[in-house]
Amino acid sequence: MTSTRLPGKILKEINGKSLLLYHLERLATTGLPVIIATTENVTDDPVVEFSKKNCIPYHRGSENNVLSRYYNAAVENSLDVIVRVTSDCPLIDGQLIRAGINRYLEEGNESTYLSNVLKRYFPRGFDFEIFSFSLLKDAFMNAQTTSDLEHVTPYINQNKSGKVNFLDVVDSEDNSDIRITVDTPEDFLLLDKLIKNYSADVLSGKEITKLFRKFPELMQINAHIEQKKL
């Protein structure tokens, strides 16, 4: 809720529905339960109220040590595999994630880190990472830098343990120039247009991508926005 560039962004509404609810509805197509890992700050009390109202499990932890928040949420819910997504991606593609989960499980290796973020072919806003509780625990026990603690997975995806097996999910075409994450007013304006004018909330990831190629003016709405650096 304390986003510096767009405060309260995840509970901002389009057509009477919050971005967080759009996000969760699209994640529901994975067939997996979702846990909201939020902070102990009073400013995130509305997120907890949202979770209670919608019967979504939640965990509250440190604002800055997000790695510990993830670890404790996983322990609390007895997880053995974690799929990490961020709540500023309301049009995330649940079926893309489901395919990633299937591939991860086929690998059968708890040292595997599978994602579509290291080799970026998909639009920013479709991001996901999959890793074992074992890798998460190793990061929790050994990570020390501020960046590792704040951003959860750098200790894992930079292979600081030296034992990570990488699997990259890439698309047949490079669509990494498309930005559908929400961090600024311009990002929100784009989401508002996508949902109100094109019903993007019920489209697949591929269909959303095609919209941007068919109507390139959509990309100009937030083309100048730079993603924050880790």
Q: Give Cα separations from 59 to 39, 40, 75, 122, 177 (angstroms).
A: 8, 9, 11, 29, 34
Closest CA to 188 of 2, 1, 5: 5
The reply to whether 183 falls in a domain is: yes
Domain tally for the chain? Answer: 1
The reply to whether 230 falls in a domain is: no
Low-confidence ranges of the chain (pLDDT < 50): none
- Residue 82 is part of which domain span? 9-221
* CATH for 175: 3.90.550.10
pLDDT of residue 69: 98
pTM: 0.96
pLDDT of residue 226: 85
pLDDT of residue 228: 72
pLDDT of residue 230: 61
pLDDT of residue 97: 98
The reply to whether 2 falls in a domain is: no
The reply to whether 227 falls in a domain is: no
The reply to whether 1 falls in a domain is: no
pLDDT of residue 227: 80
